[in-house]
Amino acid sequence: MSAKLARSSACVCILSLLSGCFSYVLNDRNKLDASSHVPIDEHSPISTVAWSTIWGGSIPVWEPLRCIHEDGSVHRVLDAEKDHSCKVNKPICGSGIGRTEVSLLAYSVPLAIVTLGLAMPAEITLYCSTASEPDTELQGPQ
């Protein structure tokens, strides 16, 4: 009986260590040359930990914005609903998001096991595109 418990514990530990390695990446494609990705700013990632709850039935929408205050100061807002002092909200990336990465954290799998799947955290990281001009060819008439 204790050997079975030891094997189960070892299996959970190994899964816990490996869970931080699982990642998904979505790169935006260059609209003029679909074989290449848009350039991104790798030095200024924007990250948050998002929680999927109730077996994925409740997934919050994350809308990071640039907040412009009345005094003209600008700062990043990771959750627009929490900062009520913004005069104007603008998209966080002026040229759009060039890359999105979603990674499980080291404690994601153990927490999912303990909570029977009710809570599953993942880290979301955005990289802004540095493309200088929008693709006017695909926008159509204005």
Instruction: Give the per-residue SS3 of 2-37.
Output: HHHHHHHHHHHHHHHHHHCCCEEEEECECCCCCCCE
User: Which residues, listed in sequence order, are joined to residue 27 by a DSSP beta bridge?
Assistant: 99
pLDDT at residue 1 in the model: 56
CA distances from 49 to 21, 103, 104, 133 (A): 16, 9, 9, 31
pLDDT at residue 110 in the model: 83
Distance CA 106, CA 108 (A): 6
> With a threshold of 0.85, does the pTM exceed it?
no
Q: How many helices (H) and strands (E) does the chain have?
A: 2, 7
* Residue 90 or residue 2, greater confidence: 90
pLDDT at residue 81 in the model: 59
Q: pLDDT digits over 65-123, tens only? A: 778 777 777 777 666 556 667 777 788 888 888 899 998 888 888 888 888 888 888 89
